[in-house]
Amino acid sequence: MAKVGKLGRVLGPRNLMPNPKSGTVTNEVGKAVTDVKGGKIDFKVDKTGIIHASIGKVSFSAEKIYENALEVLQTISKLKPSAAKGTYFKSIHVSSTMSPGIAIETKSVAGI
């Protein structure tokens, strides 16, 4: 971490700074690589409760992006605390990096 800390000014503002808490800094590199290839879902939650997650790349087919989005939604709904009452997803929006979001009806997504 001491060696990576020097890059903090460049990587920090872009949210690319490695973090031992998220598993991006580890002594077990092989295990980390197999976790990511095995389908480890990584998402961030901001102060307002908005969840940011990557579900695909431009090279992915539409079916693959749909499957990935459905898997992310199912994983998040499984992590729902038992004390939370009411609707857990108020709205769902999908967007690419620099484009406006497309609203998706929460009732239309099966399995959540």
Sign of the torsion formed by the C-alpha atoms of 58, 59, 63 and 66: negative
Residue 72 has pLDDT above 60, yes or no: yes
Q: What is the mean pLDDT of residues 40-66?
A: 85
Segments making up each domain of the chain, as ranges: 1-40, 42-112
pTM of the model: 0.63
Which pLDDT does position 49 carry in this prediction? 83
What is the average pLDDT value for the chain, to the nearest integer?
79
**Looking at the domain covering 42-112, what would its CATH class be?**
alpha beta
Three-state secondary-structure class, residue 104: strand
Q: What is the spatial distance between Cα 16 and Cα 82, in angstroms, rounded to a whole number?
A: 32
Q: What is the spatial distance between Cα 16 and Cα 91, in angstroms, rounded to a whole number?
A: 27
pLDDT category at 84 given cuts 50, 70, 90 is confident
